[in-house]
Homo-oligomer: A and B are copies of this chain.
Amino acid sequence: MKSAALGFALNILGISASMLFATILSAHSTKAQTPLPLNLMPQPSSVKTSAGALPIDANFTVSFTGHMEPRLDRAAQRFLTQLRRQTGLLIPASTAGSAKSTLVVHADHVSKDIQELGEDESYTLEVTPAGAKLNAANPLGILRGLQTFLQLVEITPDGFAARAVTIEDQPRFPWRGLMIDVSRHFIPLDVLKRNLDGMEAVKMNVFHWHLSENQGFRVESKKFTKLHELGSDHLYYTQEEVRQFVAYAHDRGIRVVPEFDMPGHSTAWFVGYPELASGSGPYSIERKWGIFDPAMDPTSEKTYKFLDELIAEMVKLFPDNYFHIGGDEVNGKEWDANPKIQEFKKSHNLKTNEDLQAYFSQRVQKIVTKHGKSVVGWDEVFIPGVPKDIVIQSWRGQQSLAAAAQQGYHGILSNGYYLDLGWSAARHYAVDPMSGAAANLTADQKKLILGGESCMWSEYVDAENIDSRIWPRNAAIAERLWSPQTVTDAASMYARLSVVSNRLEWLDLTHRTYYRRMLHRIAGPSTPQEFAALRTLADVVEPVKDYARGQTATVEPTSQQPLNRIVDAVPLESDTGRHFSELADKFLSSGCHDATIANELRMQLSLWSQNDPAFASLAQKSFLAKQAAATSSDLSALGTVGLRALDGVAAGTQLASDQQTQLDSVLTEAAKPKGQLLLIPVSSVKKLVDAASQAGSCTISKP
């Protein structure tokens, strides 16, 4: 088919390129698999399949034959609710002690009242055509196994069923966390709760609650009421809400670790209590992002008295053994500017600000220890000589963890798991806490590496789009931390991630539904052609990565700017972009001989090449669409370049040097982020141009 004719038809139709293209490659990559793979995520450590399947119908029952407790009863109800949702079946809400139930659950004994790090989470799940048995040492293992069972239930030609399997499973790491920063943007409790549901579904077991920051102190203190009253814009969790939330997490086998970041990242504290600060104040809630000067006064006994009383109050709210004191990113400017603090440093022989912070950390650690908790802190709190029960959370990387482990300290990895940086699921998935420097540790030292935590920093997320920034990518990190280290195949991960992403919707996570709504806001009452053009563009762009959003902003970003732009609406990983890249690679690895793939590439490129007019029409009506006008123009140019490259390949003649130069200059322009958006297919089109530029024919070898 000629691209001109095709283009004509597509142009008339105003087809959304992405809608079209979403169907292209996956069809290739997933069809004709026999037998169909199980869609389990995280992958269990051992799965043996056998013949047959257990039918799941409205007569489904679950019963408990071993240790029983109210939490298990609630877990069973939640399990039945999920089973009802994912099948639509009217399964009754009854549980019993009968061994004749469809699913018989047996926990040997109770788990700890307060969930402990390293508690047994293993389980075995045996499914036969006649019934299923889930066994575990304690309720934690049961919680994990119930989620695996839900993932086994699939539709079949004869109804719903769970395939016959024997699964033996346990986590690789005992600390598998998600951190959410509720301070830079306040995140309502119901949003956090549905994210706990998502964590349970993928077997994560630590919710790290980043509760205080320059931009907000988010928990009620009855002792120091000005913390939340003056430091939160009235957006905070009451103590009763915190208790409910901790119970909600405990029901799901999730520990809640609170973080109160100090001595930096604490401007919001000083609005009500300027006497804690090293500067002279007055202070107001920070509206910008970044590292700021305000820091607690580490030389004042009043500071420690205050923290002692606050921590005494907070440890009653948070039963977990761990208490996170932050400790990151103190720039020291307030300390340098304060003569009293300078004097203190001299008199205490503290040479540097790092020494001063070490002094502060040790004092706070003692307070935390006094109140019966162990400390977690970011890299900066790791100072040789601190108590051995401390856990280092590394934003710096595996080498920090390894260094700490070599001295006998525990660590968890967050470097490589920052969800806000916009990395692909595959890139997060490739990060292993035991790689790099950690790989060279001794066996005993390796045991000190407890796992990791994904981190959702909230500069650019709010209640509307946060789910989409966490899911589904977080499921890939959850698998990394649960499954054996050998489970690393990204293609398998993506195939299962797609299924898991659909299933997570039954938990009312909004990571898929938010998108069309935000695009409709951007588009307004547009024509279907215009909306399709917006969707086509939005499907192949991603926000700029890492910290570029702040660095490239034309107006300094603040917490008071709305998050209603295209850059806020598009997913952080473009499925369409990924599919196109896979398709282009496949084409090149065929020696450019695969006519079917060539046609598919041509169809996609054609759609892009003609997308701009409808988008430009929308951009004239919507200021939010207008922000992507240049990117839309780039996309159309990109499509045209790609078609020319395919024409060149098809003609079998090498592109003339000036032609190549011309195409490359278009690509160079398209590769520049505009409106803080990256056009994802640029690199794949570049490969096509390179292929067309080689002598005579496509001679690219398999990648």
Identify the A interface with B (CB < 8 A): 1, 5-6, 8-9, 12-16, 19-20, 22-24, 26-27, 30-31, 36, 39, 58, 86-90, 154-159, 464, 499, 502, 505-506, 512-513, 516-518, 520-525, 527-529, 532, 560-564, 568, 596, 599-600, 603, 620-624, 626
Contacts and interface: CB of A to CB of B under 8 A. Distances in A.
A6 B22 CA distance: 19
A157 B621 contact: yes
A623 B505 contact: no
A13 B603 contact: yes
Given A88-B564, A90-B562, A521-B87, A16 B9 contact: no
Nearest to A614: B27
Nearest to A19: B19
A523 to B, nearest CB: 8
B522 A155 contact: yes
B521 A155 contact: yes
Contacts of A86: 521
A528 B621 contact: no
Nearest to A159: B623
A123 B203 CA distance: 55
A517 B85 CA distance: 10
B517 A30 contact: no
Contacts of A622: 155-157
B529 A27 contact: yes
A683 to B, nearest CB: 23
Contact of A626 (B20, B88, B154, B157): B157
Contact of A36 (B22, B525, B562): B525
A480 to B, nearest CB: 22
A9 B12 contact: no
Given A26-B528, A502-B517, 10 more contacts: A12-B599, A13-B24, A27-B528, A36-B525, A88-B562, A155-B523, A155-B621, A157-B623, A157-B626, A505-B517
Contacts of A24: 13-14, 528
A481 B261 CA distance: 58
A106 to B, nearest CB: 29
A623 B527 contact: no
Contacts of A6: 1, 9
Contacts of A600: 12-13
A12 B561 CA distance: 45
Contacts of A157: 620-623, 626
Nearest to A39: B525
Contacts of A525: 36, 39, 154, 499
Contacts of A522: 155
A560 B599 CA distance: 49
A1 B506 CA distance: 43
A371 to B, nearest CB: 37
**3 tightest CB-CB pairs across the interface, nearest first?**
A88-B564, A155-B524, A26-B528
A58 B20 contact: no
A571 B45 CA distance: 43
Contact of A624 (B1, B155, B626): B155
Nearest to A25: B528
A632 to B, nearest CB: 15
A499 to B, nearest CB: 5
Nearest to A495: B525
B26 A623 contact: no
A44 B87 CA distance: 44
Contacts of A520: 502, 505
A58 B524 contact: no
Contact of A27 (B14, B517, B523, B596): B14
A497 B596 CA distance: 41
A468 to B, nearest CB: 14
Contacts of A155: 521-524, 621-624
Contacts of A15: 20, 23
A562 to B, nearest CB: 5
Contacts of A499: 525
11 contacts: A12-B600, A13-B600, A16-B19, A24-B528, A39-B525, A87-B564, A89-B564, A90-B561, A155-B523, A157-B623, A157-B626
A39 B19 CA distance: 27
Contacts of A22: 528
A562 B20 contact: no
Contacts of A516: 512
A554 B580 CA distance: 46
A129 B6 CA distance: 46
A561 B58 CA distance: 9
A400 B36 CA distance: 60
Contact of A30 (B1, B523, B527): B527
Contact of A623 (B12, B16, B156, B528): B156
A6 B606 CA distance: 14
A68 to B, nearest CB: 22
A574 to B, nearest CB: 15
Contacts of A603: 9, 13
Contacts of A12: 596, 599-600
A13 B23 contact: yes
A14 B5 contact: no
A532 to B, nearest CB: 5
Nearest to A38: B525
A14 B27 CA distance: 8
Contacts of A19: 16, 19-20
Contacts of A523: 155
A623 B27 contact: no
Contact of A58 (B89, B517, B528, B562): B562
A9 B24 CA distance: 11
Nearest to A500: B525
Contact of A9 (B1, B502, B562): B1
A13 B5 contact: no
Contacts of A623: 155-159
Which one of A58, A156, A623 has the greatest number of beta carbons of chain B within 10 Å? A623
Nearest to A604: B13
